Every structure is written in C-alpha cells, then in structure tokens.
Amino acid sequence: MLTDVFISPFVDYEFMRRALVGSLALAVSGAPLGVFLILRRMSLAGDALSHAVLPGAAIGYLVAGLSLPAMTFGGLVAGLVVAIATGAASRFTTLREDASLAAFYLVSLALGVTLVSLKGSSVDLLHVLFGSVFGLDDAALFMLAGVSTLTLLTLAIFYRALVLDTLDPLFLRQTSRFGEFIPFLFLGLVVLNLVAGFQALGTLMAVGLIMLPAAAARLWTHELSAALPLAAGVASLCVYAGLVFSNETGAPTGPAIILAAGLCYFASLVFGRAGGVLRLKRPRRHLAG
C-alpha cells in the first residue's frame, strides 16, 4: 500500500515527524537564500562557509561534548569570522575572493576534522560531518524553527534592500545609509542557516539543501519573486522524498535528501523552462515580415 510508504511512517514514529519538521524548517528558509547566492555569483561561498562552521562546532564539542548550545555558538562565531576574513583578504590583498574562499575552506575542513578527532570517536566525527536528522530533540527543533522564522522575517523586511544589493549594489549604497550593512546581514543569515543545518544534515550536507533547490528553481523562472517560493517548495519536496527513501532502504538520511535535491536539479537542467537544455535547443520564432 502506498500509504504504508508515504504516510504511515510519519504517523507511527515520532522520530520521523521530528525529522520532517526540522528538515522542512531548513528547507523553507535556506533555499531562498540559495537563490540570492546564485544571483550574487557566490555559490561557492555557501560551500566554503559551510565548512567554516566546522572548526567552531568542533571547539564547542571539545569544551562541552555534544552540546547543542556550545556547538551552535562555536559554529556561528567561526562562520562569521571566516566570512569577514575572506572579505578582508580579497579587499586588502591581490588574491581574488574565490582563491581566499578556497584557502579558508581547506584549512577549516582540516582543522575541524582534527579537533573532533582529538577527543571524539569516528561516530562523533560522522555525526558532525553528516548530521543526525533522525536524532533531533526538542532543543534542536526549537533552534531550527527559530532560525527559520528569523530568516523569513528578515527576508520579508529587507527584501527590497536585498534585491537592490544583489542587482545594483552601487545604487543601493548611493541611496541608502544602510547599503553597507546589507551584505553583512545577508552573510549572517547564510551562516546562521548553515549552523542550524549542521545539526540535522551535518557540515558537509547542509549547503546542499540551500544550493540545489535554488539552482533548480532558477532553471524554471527568471522572476525572483517566483524563484524564492519555488526553491522553498522544491527543497520541501526533496526533504520528504529523502526521508521516505531513507526509511524504506536504510540509506543515510542526509545524503538521501541531498540526492533527491540533485535529481530535481538534473531534471531541471533538461526540462527547465527558463534555461533547460530542451528549452535552449528549441528553435526560436522569427517575427513575420
């Protein structure tokens, strides 16, 4: 019966309901940020920042064990430090931003893995790297819901400023005294969602739920106002599909969710109405003379 596969697990098992609620919170707040990252040509920045979270989370783990507040605070501080340091390196040196991001990405990943390995076991390391979406407790759910709510409210309040900063940052700086503040606000939201995401999906997988649905949405529409909710919807669908697949097959949950997002992205590459392969190969109509 289809209900046994698609509905019953979420009715019968509390851990499945917790996983669904927590992952949906990440989906609806993270994927719209991914759309802005793509438009800003900062897709790799999301990946780099996701690994920048790791050393801070590892230090929190060394101090307090698998403590949610300690690891969250450490990850948030580390992510913000790397974001600021990357901007400073690209501004005051001859290195381009992508080179600075690559350097911080590699160092952060190596440092985080080393710190976790000093005190913990391979199980603890896998928990930090790949998350434990089926192990979300009340504290984690409240944090995910809080981050999601804060992100959506901030996007709604500063939507116009974020769009201007994405499409014409010079105009925003000339017309608003808050123009210099908006990029840091945006990076702060990205880091906050990545920190929340590592609790469920781990530092290696969290960025996938931000970027892949956003990339898929951009292949279906050129309208930003449509791409944001579409990305959130695609991410939510991928969360549900990944949880069902993981429950049925025993596959790791985080990678299953990201693989579902990857399938949506590859399907959009082919069929997307705003940039898919079939759309681009379709012959254009010429105006009749």
171-183 confidence digits (pLDDT tens):
888 888 878 888 8
Give per-residue pLDDT as tens, 79-132: 888 877 876 776 677 777 667 777 877 888 888 888 877 776 666 667 677 777
**CB-based contact 21:243 (threshold 8 Å):** no
Residues 165 and 148: their CA atoms lie apart, in Å, by 22
Write the CB contacts of 288 (distance below 8 Å, at least 6 apart in sequence). none
**What is the b/e burial string over 261-284, where b = at least 16 CB atoms within 10 angstroms of the residue's CB?**
bbebbeebeeebeeebeeeeeeee
Which is more confident, 84 or 228?
228
pLDDT number for residue 284:
56
Homologous superfamily in CATH for domain 2-209: ABC transporter involved in vitamin B12 uptake, BtuC (1.10.3470.10)
Integer Cα distance of 128 and 57 in angstroms: 8
Q: Tell me: the pLDDT tens digits for 174-224?
A: 888 878 888 888 988 998 898 888 878 877 788 899 999 999 999 999 999
Share of the chain above pLDDT 70, in %: 91
Domain locations along the chain: 2-209
What is the pLDDT at residue 108?
82
Query: What is the per-residue pLDDT for 288?
Result: 46
**How far apart are the two ends of the chain, measured CA to CA in Å?**
59
Confidence tier at 169 by pLDDT (50, 70, 90): confident
Q: Is the pLDDT of residue 283 over 90?
A: no
Looking at residue 285, what is its pLDDT? 56
pLDDT in tens, 15-49: 999 999 999 999 999 999 999 999 988 877 777 78
* Alpha carbons 88 and 106: distance in angstroms, whole number: 18
Summarised one tens digit per residue, pLDDT across range 45-68 is 777 788 788 888 888 877 887 777
Task: Flag whether pLDDT at 289 surpasses 50.
Answer: no
Distances from the Cα of 55 to the Cα of 45, 110, 121, 180, 243, angstroms: 17, 9, 16, 28, 28
